[in-house]
Structure 1
């Protein structure tokens, strides 16, 4: 009996592990019940890492928020801040607002940085940024 071996050119290349689209990861994080789960956040963080490294602003913003809010680790918080800064410089409103909030907190407390990022977010139409800026001016 003859062996039927496909020539190398016709064989299928090995498949890479399929990545879920960024849109699906963001959908998971935005679901009220799912998005608060630590395991979902861990999975989403892993899935956002590669697009964030590739410069996808939305991935940088969301991963930065996850790292700053949900990680007690100082190294992860530093990485989160850097990702938020990159996304903020690229014009992401949510990253700018988050940076403004974070710099207002007693843990960071850098009013000049907070004002800079809140002004950026307010210029894009964020009402919350405008309110935070108003509170900052009253407390000064």
Structure 2
């Protein structure tokens, strides 16, 4: 039995990929901004993990919030240095919150 080939134009789906929704970023920001939840160490850790990938991808809001979180909450110098670098990147991109935080960190 011979199968007929189907023309590729019939089976092809459009290759346009929609931009990924920043769901993890929105959830992390919501958790950190929540008055009760934002105080918990476990929630801060979870929010930091959610912010990590968007920050790596260059999302300025994620860089700013993760940098703040790492500068304020982390006990070791390595994490504070990484947080400071993230804040510097966000401040260069024009994030006012990161610029203010950098002013406080460097003073």
TM, length-normalised to structure 1:
0.59
**Deviation of 1:21 (Å):** 3.0
CA RMSD of aligned residues (A): 1.2
Q: In the alignment, what sits opposite 1:49?
A: 52
> 2: CA distance between counterparts of 1:84 and 1:20?
22
After superposing on structure 2, the runs of 4+ consecutive aligned residues of structure 1 that deviate more than 3 Å are: none
Q: 1:75 to 1:83 in 2, by over 3 A?
A: same
Q: Does 1:95 align with 2:98?
A: yes
3-state SS of paired residue (1:88)? helix
Q: Does 1:64 align with 2:79?
A: no
**Deviation of 1:61 (Å):** 0.2
Unaligned runs of 5+ in 1: 1-18, 105-140
> 2: CA distance between counterparts of 1:45 and 1:21?
10
TM, length-normalised to structure 2:
0.77
